């Protein structure tokens, strides 16, 4: 008997795998930014989207939000709320990356505390993460 796409999509292993991947990615991203808030604040400023008055606040709050959402996903706590926040964050990240590309800015993405350039590959990575979060948001119990 062939396995259907719907069977795979609804399999609990897929949801658990997505939770682990998203949790690990967001924990790693958050920790890197927590230990270098000034660098992350500069990365946010480079996007030229937010007013300078809120940049430092975002640079301090966002990494902790990523860390807690990632931890909750790994721990199996507050899954729905964590996935919703991660989905929103991914949408914001994709919008910000596209904005940089449209405006022709040559900046680092500020992801994971690295100097990774903003390019289509970075957008594709975020789309994959968004797909995982959307799967969890709409398929997981």
Q: What is the pTM of this model?
A: 0.87
3 in a structural domain = no
Number of domains in the chain: 1
Domain-located, residue 81? yes
Q: Please report whether residue 1 resides in a domain.
A: no
pLDDT of residue 113: 63
Q: What is the pLDDT of residue 114?
A: 64
Q: What is the pLDDT of residue 117?
A: 82
Establish if 2 belongs to a structural domain: no
Contacts of 2-7 with C-beta under 8 Å, sequence gap 24+, read none
Task: State residue 46's pLDDT score.
Answer: 93
Range of the domain at 58: 10-139
Residue 101 lies in a domain: yes
Instruction: Report yes or no on 5 lying in a domain.
Output: no
Tens digits of pLDDT across the chain (141 residues): 566 555 555 677 889 999 999 999 999 999 999 999 999 999 999 999 999 999 999 999 999 999 999 999 999 999 999 999 999 999 999 999 999 999 998 888 888 766 778 889 999 999 999 999 999 998 855
Q: What is the DSSP letter of 114?
A: S
Query: Angle formed by the axes of helices 12-34 and 52-75, to 10°?
Result: 140
Residue 27 lies in a domain: yes
Pair 30, 67: CB distance under 8 Å: yes
Q: Is 1 helix (H, G, I), strand (E, B) or coil?
A: coil
The token pair that represents 130 in the structure block: 């968004």
């Amino acid at each position: 008997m062939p396995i259907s796409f719907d069977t795979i999509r609804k399999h609990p292993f897929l949801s658990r795998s997505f939770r682990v991947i998203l949790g690990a990615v967001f924990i790693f991203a958050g920790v890197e930014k927590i230990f270098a808030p000034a660098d992350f604040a500069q990365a946010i400023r480079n996007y030229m989207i937010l007013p300078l008055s809120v940049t430092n606040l975002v640079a301090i709050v966002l990494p902790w939000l990523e860390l807690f959402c990632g931890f909750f996903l790994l721990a199996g706590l507050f899954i729905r709320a964590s996935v919703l926040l991660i989905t929103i964050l991914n949408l914001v990240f994709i919008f910000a990356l596209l904005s940089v590309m449209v405006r022709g800015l040559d900046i680092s993405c500020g992801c994971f505390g690295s100097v990774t350039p903003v390019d289509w590959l970075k957008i594709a990575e975020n789309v994959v993460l968004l797909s995982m979060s959307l799967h969890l948001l709409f398929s997981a119990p």
